[in-house]
A and B are shown apart, each in its own frame.
Chain A
């Protein structure tokens, strides 16, 4: 029930916004998002499994299931584990910030804008709390509609192309994801006699399928999820969409929508098709590494700040995929942590860029720069968030990047822990160059934008609406984000600890897989591998 209320609060707020008139829209939306935040905080306090040793989700499924088509086992079922609750918190914390960030930027069709924004966050939260495939898919797809309209109505000059590309790319991919999931459900029905679409049932069942079937299922699921992540060749919608979207849209896209893909990878692909994952992990990792380096190089030559940050998302999400596909708890924890820290850091950066754009109406590095003296408060937040993004120790980016890379580095076959690492040091080494490149382009951008002589567009004149530096409203939008970046950087342990049982649960099918592979190996290989690991262990 609690989770249904969580989803309903923004929707009810929508009605308020719709009837509240054009002038009050933003205030009502802010109120609604704060109530949602408060309710989510209450849920987070009630959540009993923060320090659990065993994975569990909450509340128990029978309390929350709403049968839709019982004949086919389709029931809407909600529940959270620690990872999904953390992602919900990410979303609800950013929601008021988004509203504050669009306070004066959105001048026409305000009511609609805030309605789309609220619907979007409902859909996103729905994805995170869904415990059955059909509601997952429903929210996943439904999130396209508000995203599409936000982009198409309020976006930049290329909004039409960007919005259509965004919708069609994701929609096409996710149709195949639905197909893959329906196939698993059908096999489940064939072999157990009962139709079920509950994620727990399907993840328990799917690993028993043959390796060939798992490969096809992996392909179908990746078609939908890789677009959202986005993985290297399928990333082209992202820079366009993020660049053209209004500030709140960019924040939402970067901070939350991208996480839907990664969350799907972690909820479906890892537990469902372990054999295929082990086979294909190197390929996916290669794509991720290409994405990391390639996008970083593109960032280096960008002059459009917003586009630069959009491409940096492609690069950063590559690390998260690497951590996920490293198939050990360390990498997985890092990946989950990356989802959170990237959400806050990049979301905050987009907010900053939006605030600068409202004052200068340009995002071009050649036209604007040297703002440190003119806008010291803005520069302070901007630099903090850039450092968080770069991975400066003491801020959140460092923890997540480090864990992902360590996870990748140690992802070698290991009989002791039982996890079938297939990546190893080489992947980590090449990916680490992405970290260096990341520091280069982000610091280069910061240098141009904040330091040096003041540069302003020729036709610039001070706005009457906005003060020279940030207003209290804008500080209120950025301060919580910067604070969270700092807290996450200094004290990552509570979160990592909460994620640990989830990571172990997700990776549960893998050790058994290693054992069966191990048995198939010939004796000499086995002996050499064993002696290697025991040696390492004794050292």
Chain B
């Protein structure tokens, strides 16, 4: 099999999604209402096809073993996870996108004008962004990595702008786009420095070069600077300090289904990219040179990178949680909470090795499920025909919509990490990984930060249940479509049920990062032997 064809086989799911993007873009322009209504379901259909294709591709295909990837099996886990959660995210948008215009057309107040509908575009961009995120899993060099990250984020800029109209929305769209562009420039510059330091674009090649350099005099300083710049740029994607400022405004200004989308998808992209770059550096075998000029081996990532990530993680956890304490708007609150979740996941990245990154990939699932559930509630309800805004709007929700109040409480408690809900297992995994890597102070800070978060999650979970409904809440009614609520309930039940399958899920996460060089037994200090000449990873699991 040629290299080209093996690569093409590997990205079959993404190709399917591209085709899907074109199809739904065209379908969305149809003058038949039925066809337009079929757009979200076509999108879901293509996502299912991509999930199936992923399973077929990774089921013992040679393409996987031939591609020169850092994490050969990561694609299976990541693409399936992204696909499943994306189905939920598509459901959130049903009935929300183009709502007013469709109503006007239905009532005959206006004729149908293909230029004024955005349904097709919305779903096409959504599919493109998902395809970009999936492509990151297959990145084997920096160019691919950069293009995939851009493909995953460019469509989201448009999606944020689709809620045209309000001033807040315009502000969000502009902020998101310009800051996003700046962050891309930052990490692209970092990539350039990395190329300069290693002389290669290939990630596996880079890993070898860096391992050799680390065993020798150490990685050159501008290589480390490149890495730090790349991380800082990627912090935008994962809403980590110092690139988190946009999050509250953008989350609040974007249409609610889009908020749900951008609080999950760019995070997956960002964390996958960060983990790949960290893997290229390697979590072991580094040293510092002390004052006497003696090499002192250090644990984990190279010291400067480690320190940068450490500071970023701590600030992200603290600022995210403290910021959330002050919010009354639910979407702003969720923005800050998503910032703090990134901080927790960075603990896993810093801890590194197999345990740490498994924990991150597992946590992404727990976070994604809770996100879809909570946004399912927000998209499924409306107040006098508008979006639900503040916590007070929801007080007394139990009376009229007990199911929604229940799902909201479940997802808030899951994000808080209350056992036995899904979020707890994710957090537990991170804690264990952190302690195992000797990062106890970081884990203590993480615990303190989660402790702070109990305050606002408790409000989110509690107020809808404990308060009596008042005049303000009387206006709460169900949204135009039942599907966002269905998504909320299904993923809410997932929060309860998935822990029973946590074992399988965790095993899949472990299998996804399994490869020859990250086996703890081999990583010790023998850098040269860490990466055999011809890596033959284990056959992927079905």
Contact = CB atoms under 8 A, between A and B. Distances in A.
Interface in B424-447: 424-425, 428-429, 431-432, 435-436, 440, 443-444, 447
Nearest to A190: B436
A182 B458 contact: no
B455 A168 contact: yes
Interface of A: 67-72, 134, 137-138, 141-142, 144-145, 148-149, 152-153, 159-160, 163-164, 167-168, 171-172, 175-176, 178-179, 182-183, 185-186, 189
B502 A167 contact: no
A138 B503 contact: no
Given A142-B419, A186-B436, 7 more contacts: A68-B503, A137-B419, A149-B466, A163-B462, A164-B455, A168-B454, A182-B431
B493 to A, nearest CB: 15
A69 B435 CA distance: 17
B443 A179 contact: yes
B187 interface: no
Contacts of A167: 454, 458
Contacts of A163: 462, 466
A72 to B, nearest CB: 6
A137 to B, nearest CB: 6
Contacts of A145: 413, 418
B507 interface: yes
B84 to A, nearest CB: 21
B351 to A, nearest CB: 12
Scoring B416, B432, B451 by chain A CB atoms within 10 A of each residue's CB, the highest score goes to B432
A234 to B, nearest CB: 14
A71 B506 contact: yes
A47 to B, nearest CB: 27
A362 B363 CA distance: 50
Interface in B278-328: none
Contacts of B510: 71
Contact of B454 (A72, A171, A186): A171
Nearest to A152: B466
B447 A164 contact: no
A153 B465 contact: yes
Scoring A70, A148, A175 by chain B CB atoms within 10 A of each residue's CB, the highest score goes to A175
Contacts of A144: 418
B418 A70 contact: no
A168 B418 CA distance: 12
A278 to B, nearest CB: 24
A182 B502 contact: no
A415 B503 CA distance: 50
B156 interface: no
B520 to A, nearest CB: 12
A175 B466 contact: no
Contacts of B455: 164, 168
A241 B429 CA distance: 33
Contact of B435 (A67, A149, A160, A183): A183
A69 B451 contact: no
A68 B502 contact: yes
A168 B466 CA distance: 16
Contacts of B425: 69
A178 B431 contact: yes
B204 interface: no
A141 B458 contact: no
A189 B416 CA distance: 27
A148 B451 CA distance: 16
A69 B506 contact: yes
7 contacts: A71-B506, A141-B419, A152-B462, A159-B466, A175-B450, A176-B447, A179-B431
B150 to A, nearest CB: 36
A212 to B, nearest CB: 13
Interface in B9-56: none
Contacts of B420: 138, 142
A175 B451 contact: yes
Contacts of A137: 419
A141 B462 contact: no
A350 to B, nearest CB: 22
Interface string B502-517: 1100110010000000
Contacts of B503: 67-70
B435 A148 contact: no
Contact of B418 (A69, A72, A142, A159): A142
Given A148-B458, A148-B462, A182-B428, A141 B435 contact: no
A149 B507 contact: no
Nearest to A144: B418
A149 B462 CA distance: 8
B108 to A, nearest CB: 45
B419 A138 contact: yes
Contact of A149 (B419, B443, B447, B465): B465
B435 A164 contact: no
A141 B428 contact: no
A172 B451 contact: yes
B498 to A, nearest CB: 12
A114 to B, nearest CB: 16
Given A68-B502, A175-B447, A168 B458 contact: yes
B125 to A, nearest CB: 38
A244 to B, nearest CB: 13
B436 A171 contact: no
B419 A182 contact: no
A186 B432 contact: yes
Contact of B444 (A149, A159, A179): A179
A201 B455 CA distance: 35
A145 B461 CA distance: 10
Given A138-B420, A183-B440, A171 B451 contact: yes
Contacts of A148: 458, 462
Contacts of B454: 167-168, 171-172
Contacts of B416: 171
Contacts of A178: 428, 431, 447
A19 to B, nearest CB: 13
A344 to B, nearest CB: 29
A142 B503 CA distance: 21
B146 to A, nearest CB: 35
A182 B435 contact: yes
Contacts of A149: 462, 465-466
Contacts of B448: 175
B355 to A, nearest CB: 9
B15 to A, nearest CB: 35
Contact of A186 (B435, B451, B465): B435
Contacts of B432: 72, 182, 185-186
A182 B502 CA distance: 18
A30 B334 CA distance: 41
Interface in B130-148: none
A185 B418 CA distance: 20
Nearest to B501: A68
B462 to A, nearest CB: 6
Contacts of B436: 186, 189
A138 B418 CA distance: 8
Contacts of A175: 447-448, 450-451
Contacts of A69: 425, 502-503, 506
B419 A179 contact: no
Contacts of B429: 72
B346 to A, nearest CB: 18
Nearest to B434: A182
A539 B342 CA distance: 69
A182 B432 CA distance: 6
Nearest to A183: B435
